[in-house]
Amino acid sequence: MQNSARGAVATAIWIILATVMIGPVLVATTSPYLAYRNTAYIIGGFAGIISLSLLLIQPLLAAGYLPGARAITGRKWHRWVGTAIVVCVGLHVGGLYVTSPPDTQDALLLVSPTAFSVYGVLAMWGIVLTVALVILRHRMGLRYATWRLVHNGLAAIVVAATVTHALQIEGAMETVSKWGLCIAVVAATGATLIDLRLIRPFFAPKGGWINGDPNARKQKAGDEPPA
Amino acid sequence: MENDNSGLKGETNMKSPFYNRRSFLFSAGLASAFTALEPFGLLSPASAIGLAPTRSMRGGSNNYRPNAPMVDRLGSGFWVSGRVRRAGDGAPLEGVRIQIWAATTLGGEREPRNHGSVLTAADGSFRLEMEQIVPNFGQPHAHLAYDDGAYETVFLRPVMPSASDTSVSTEFVLAPV
């Protein structure tokens, strides 16, 4: 492919991705419900919407699919987006707690009348565990293969729980844009996991690829991959 | 069991000590007694004595502010209504105070303007007009409380089938203390 064509494709990919991610957030800003809510509720709600939106780009960055953010650059962004998700989840729970302490306590203690609260709390604990593993994985001496498996498993749980949580909520998000984003999030996570963990290992050349990167050379078990 | 064949043979040849007519009758009796109890309701204590009292709903007391002021109305366009009866005989209860609050277009559930009390009429009915209820914490719902001591306290949290509904209705069956 010529450079200009490649550039056009790259631009198109980023425009589509940005539209799917930012569109639903912008639509939600037009919700009439916002006029009836206090600042903490609005911040908490949008922190949740943005978390959902960030879950779309997160696996694509990890896998290095995105033009301009391949391999190491993608991984670096993956860490920043991961940090942003953690901050947003903190703001989400905190904002809701300030808005209505009893409703948030019920949710956290899993005695809320709303079923979606359980999925929200499940996703939150999945993220808490992910953060704990990110911090402790070297200290725990986790092998890279183990870490990858646990991290992917947690990611799948977080995505499934978050989407289930979001779809059941009647809130600021508009229905069609919410479903669009949720389907995209599930598709991105599912496709990435299937590609990285099933397809690529299956077709990997003898000697192996590391994490889907054909340029990386296979290392001994327990070795860190190139950062 | 040492060997599958010998075990099978043994069981067919002997009278099973594990499952005979007596144990069948015993377990069947237990099972039918169990189905008669609470969750299945064939013989619930309430039906034995008449109308069962309403139980508080999960989250019903959230953002409760005791002693909401008596009001004629809290706004317009949305009706919260219901009926209050006595457990057992089902008699309508007059002059019972029901406290009502919800997130509306005026603000959230902790907004004082969204809290008010009404008394039941002679037929046990009550109703309160307020501003449109809006979804709060993911669901459009109202909160109602009976909390005045003569009967067991009950907190309700009816959910509207649709956020565009302009009314919500519920029922209290109160058990004397």
Digit-coded pLDDT (tens) for B95-139: 999 999 999 999 999 999 999 999 999 999 999 999 999 999 999
Architecture of domain B78-174: Sandwich (2.60)
Position with higher pLDDT, A165 vs A216: A165
The number of folded domains in chain A is 1
How much of chain A exceeds pLDDT 90, in percent?
Answer: 80
pLDDT at B19: 59
Most confident of A65-74, A160-169, B8-17: A160-169
pLDDT at A219: 47
Please state whether beta strands B125-130 and B142-146 pair in parallel, antiparallel, or not at all (unpaired).
Answer: unpaired
User: In this structure, which amino acid lies at residue B91?
Assistant: A
* pLDDT category of residue A90 using cuts at 50, 70 and 90: very high
CB of A196 within 8 A of CB of A206? no
Contacts of B130 in chain A (CB under 8 A): none
Contacts of B65 in chain A (CB under 8 A): none
Where are chain B's structural domains?
4-36, 78-174
Instruction: Please check whether residue A209 lies inside any domain of the structure.
Output: no
Q: Which of A114, A164, A165, A169 to mutate to probe the B interface, most B CBs <10 Å?
A: A114
Enclosing domain of residue A28: 3-203
CB contact under 8 A, A114 and B105: no
How many residues does this entry show for chain A? 227
Question: Could you report the predicted ipTM of this complex, rounded to two decimals?
Answer: 0.84
How much of chain A exceeds pLDDT 70, in percent?
Answer: 90
Instruction: Please check whether residue A226 lies inside any domain of the structure.
Output: no
Tens-place pLDDT, residues B133-171:
999 999 999 999 999 999 999 999 999 999 999 999 999
Distance separating alpha carbons of residues B8 and A129, to the nearest angstrom:
50
Q: Which residue of B has its CA nearest to A111?
A: B58
Q: What angle do CA A192, A93, A51 make, to 5 degrees?
A: 25
Say whether residue A99 is in contact with chain B using an 8 A CB cutoff: yes
Angle of the A39-63 helix axis to the A71-99 helix axis, nearest 10? 160
pLDDT at B4: 45
Instruction: Please check whether residue A199 lies inside any domain of the structure.
Output: yes
pLDDT at A203: 86
Position with higher pLDDT, B80 vs A71: B80
